[in-house]
Amino acid sequence: MTLKGARERWVRTGGVELCVAELGDPGRPTVVLVHGYPDSKEVWSEVAARLAGRFHVVLYDVRGHGRSTAPRPLRGGFTLAKLTDDFLAVVDAVSPDRPVHLVGHDWGSVQSWEFVTVGRTEGRIASFTSISGPSLDHFGHWINARVKRPTPRRVGQLLGQGAKSWYVYLLHTPALPELAWRGPLGTYWPKILERAERVPGGDYPTASLPTDAAHGAWLYRDNVRARLRRPRPDAYAHAPVQLITPQEDAFLSERLYDDLDRWAPRLTRRTLPAGHWVPRTRPDQVAAWIEQFATSAEGGRPAPRPTGRHADRFAGQLVLVTGAGSGIGRATAFAFAEAGARVIAVDRDAEAAARTAEQSRLAGAPDAWAEPADVSDEQAMEKLAEKVHDEHGVLDVLVNNAGIGLSGSFFATTTDDWRKVLDVNLWGVIHGCRLFGARMAERDQGGHIVNVASAAAYQPSRVLPAYSTSKAAVLMLSECLRAELAAQGIGVTAVCPGFVNTSITSTARFAGVDEEEQRRRQQRTARLYGLRNYPPEKVADAILDAVADNRAVAPVTPEARGARLLYRFAPGLLRRIARVEPRL
């Protein structure tokens, strides 16, 4: 973990010397990255490297950390006022004429909230991205509101955050933190981070860690109690704020930010399914959001605020949907586009895929592309994966949706029929998972795979043996893959819809009947599905919900949920229904 190619300088301020590193062209807009506890500026190395092509990136070791010197005496040397002096001294040195884009993580964010809410920095900050570090003033008001007007929910929130703050109480004890860091905690810290937070080990700078961590305890002691007791009443942000909230943060509850719009009226929210150290574990996403936010602030434009479902979660993410030319796939591509995602619509029907991409763009999603491909064709899928990875990068979400219907008794179903349905419904999913999932796993920055199965995956039927078998295989494949990829933070979901009103009814094949009977049955099925009239848009919403909640299996439609319950608690009844089921 090093800052390759960084230029270093020293900035003197208030009796300390700060070690400042710079990357990128100083003529470009400046991004200042402030690290947290017990880190040094190197925690940003991955993010800084990704931003350096577009920005002048500046990092500094907070006083008493890394290579910056510590104040003497330590007590009283880490107040928010002194940290603000340091920030202004660095900004004066690296960007005297232009306001900077400020980004803070953990304590870097806590202190940056001070910078962005005090009068003396007005005009010096163009935007602020906050990651895992609340304003102590906002936190104080949050506690007061819950203590003064307790409801069961609010008391639960207080207790929840109270439990997550165990380390803050310890850091207020005299000498104990210093002893712990100079002992085994200091030695094993990189290992603890690797195991508990999945922070890549490697070249974590451990040499200064015990001293940094001992000094950093004064960040807490000098500020936390005083501010939480008497939070400033006017801690309003004077720059636009982007809040990135890791959903699995072991130290901070998401609820802390419920009232944040009050303090930061120009607020953009982003959420990530990850732990506390996202600058290390999700550098691609963090850098992309910083770049997008800073770029829109530079242009004087408000940051794009997509209004779709889970926009905070999917904005800017790269999503590929197969079978996106029609029905559930098309609705899913639209739903992700409305949430601000960059969408690749894939279908074997090139025109239909192009229409989906075009309509997504018309609906306000500038980054929507179409790619023709047959998911059952391994070589075509290999080419597609290569093109997508070359031109757009690694997917954040893959939706293996393309599928075909086939009805008919087991003995009416020919081996050719079996091959066709398995080639698309099962092999299509296998190819997608292998080719795109492998790169997701290799990147090791999380992601999600959705496989569209069906309620037929768990509901036996005497008229759908081949289709149901293909979908049952997709369900089990999804469960197995979910187990395998969990360690890499990649979620896998099997979506199981019931009857959905799409064109699958008019394209589904009926085995063992002549052309005329085929058409008659297709029309009758289309009529029945039309009467049921469950829209594909609702399945798309369920898909986005399932990804956001990282669900393993998502039955959609009441009949699919009902069948799932019977499958689990009364399978005999489900088997009896399968025997009397009418032929379609």
Tell me which residues are annotated as active site: 467
Residues 421-431 as b or e (16 or more Cβ within 10 Å = b)? bbbbbbbbbbb
* C-alpha–C-alpha distance, residues 294 and 231, integer Å: 29
The string of DSSP codes covering 118-170 is: SGGGTTTEEEEEEES---HHHHHHHHHHHHHS--HHHHHHHHHHHHHTHHHHH
Q: Alpha-carbon distance 62 to 285, whole Å?
A: 25
CB-nearer residue toward ligand NAD: 109 or 401: 401
Number of neighbouring beta carbons within 10 Å of residue 404: 18
The mark string for 447-466 relative to ligand NAD (x by CB under 6 A, - otherwise) is: -----x-x------------
- How many residues in total does the chain contain? 584
Among 106, 212, 374, 541, binds ligand NAD (CB under 6 A): 374
The tokens 């402030």 sit on which residue? 34
- Alpha-carbon distance of 412 to 261, in angstroms, equals 62
**Closest distance between ligand NAD and the C-beta of residue 505, in Å?**
7
Binding string to ligand NAD for residues 250 to 289, with x set by CB under 6 A, is what? ----------------------------------------
Which stretch of DSSP H or E encloses residue 196? helix 184-197
Stretch that binds ligand NAD, among 103-111, 293-301, 341-349, 381-389 (CB under 6 A): 341-349
At its nearest, how many Å lie between ligand NAD and the CB of residue 578?
17
CA distance linking residue 438 with residue 11, whole number of Å: 45
Mapping DSSP to helix (H, G, I), strand (E, B) and coil, where does residue 55 land? coil
Helix (H), strand (E) at residue 495 = strand 490-497
Torsion, CA 379, CA 383, CA 388, CA 393, rounded to 10 = 90
| 335 sits near ligand NAD (criterion: CB under 6 A) | no
Q: How far is the CB of 560 from ligand NAD (least distance, A)?
A: 8
> Which residue lies nearer to ligand NAD by CB, 237 or 452?
452
**Contact between residue 343 and residue 337 where contact means Cβ atoms under 8 Å apart:** yes
Candidate list 253, 322, 469, 525; residue touching ligand NAD; CB under 6 A: 322
Q: Which residue among 246, 275, 323, 491 contacts ligand NAD (CB under 6 A)?
A: 323
Q: How far apart are CA 231 and CA 344, in angstroms?
A: 47
Stretch that binds ligand NAD, among 227-235, 306-314, 344-352, 414-422 (CB under 6 A): 344-352
Binders of ligand NAD among residues 463 to 522 (CB under 6 A) are 497, 499-500, 502-504, 507
* Binding residue (CB under 6 A) for ligand NAD from 329, 447, 460, 491: 329
CA–CA dist 500, 579 (Å, integer): 23
Of 133-172, binders to ligand NAD (CB under 6 A) are none
Indicate which single residue of 50, 348, 431, 564 sits in contact with ligand NAD (rule: CB under 6 A).
348
Least Å distance, CB 553 to ligand NAD, is: 13
Contact of 564 with 496, CB cutoff 8 Å: yes
Q: Closest separation between CB of residue 171 and ligand NAD, Å?
A: 52
Q: How far is the CB of 433 from ligand NAD (least distance, A)?
A: 14
- In the range 207-236, which residues lie near ligand NAD by CB under 6 A? none
- Alpha-carbon distance values, 318 to 279, 288, 369, 388 (Å): 19, 11, 11, 10
Q: Answer for the pair 190, 204: CB distance below 8 angstroms, yes or no.
A: yes
E-strand stretches of 155-237: none
Residues between 30 and 59 with contacts to ligand NAD, criterion CB under 6 A: none
Contact (Cβ atoms closer than 8 angstroms) between residue 394 and residue 440: yes
Please select the residue that binds ligand NAD; options are 157, 326, 478, 522, rule is CB under 6 A: 326
**244 vs 402, which CB is nearer to ligand NAD?**
402
Total of residues contacting ligand NAD (CB under 6 A): 30
Contact 337, 420 (CB under 8 A): no
* Given 325, 340, 446, 555, the residue binding ligand NAD (CB under 6 A): 325
**512 phi-psi bin (left φ>0, alpha ψ -120 to 50, beta other):** left
* Cβ at position 236, least distance to ligand NAD in Å: 48
**Residue 133 or 555 with smaller CB distance to ligand NAD:** 555
Closer of 171 and 450 to ligand NAD (Cβ) = 450
Nearer to ligand NAD, 409 or 507 (CB): 507
Alpha-carbon radius of gyration of the chain: 27
* Range in contact with ligand NAD (rule: CB under 6 A) among 111-119, 194-202, 211-219, 342-350: 342-350
Residues in 376-435 at the binding interface with ligand NAD, rule: CB under 6 A? 376, 401-404, 424, 428
Contacts of 423 (CB under 8 A, 6+ apart): 376
Q: Please, what is the minimum distance in Å from the beta carbon of residue 576 to ligand NAD?
A: 22
Closer CB to ligand NAD, residue 47 or residue 543? 543
- CA dist 378 and 374 (Å) reads 8
Instruction: Quote the tokens at residue 383.
Output: 């080419």
Closest CB 343 distance from ligand NAD, rounded Å: 15
Binding span for ligand NAD by CB under 6 A among 37-45, 115-123, 343-351, 512-520 = 343-351
- Point out which span in 105-113, 135-143, 221-229, 320-328 binds ligand NAD (CB under 6 A): 320-328
Q: Which is nearer to ligand NAD, 121 or 454 (CB)?
A: 454
Give the integer Cα–Cα distance in Å for 384 and 345: 12
Quick one: 488 or 501, whose CB is closer to ligand NAD?
501
DSSP single-letter state for residue 514: -
Binding region for ligand NAD (CB under 6 A) out of 21-29, 233-241, 250-258, 319-327 = 319-327
Inter-residue contact 114 to 80 (CB < 8 Å): yes
Of 23, 341, 352, 388, the residue at the interface with ligand NAD (CB under 6 A) is 352
* Per-residue buried b or exposed e for 198-208, using 16+ beta carbons within 10 Å of the residue's own CB: bbeeeebbeeb
- Smallest separation, CB 434 to ligand NAD (Å): 16
Which of residues 42, 106, 114, 347 is near ligand NAD by CB under 6 A? 347
Minimum Å gap between C-beta 405 and ligand NAD is: 6
DSSP 328-344: HHHHHHHHHHHTT-EEE
Residues that bind ligand NAD in the complex, under the rule CB under 6 A: 322-323, 325-329, 347-349, 352, 374-376, 401-404, 424, 428, 452, 454, 497, 499-500, 502-504, 507, 536
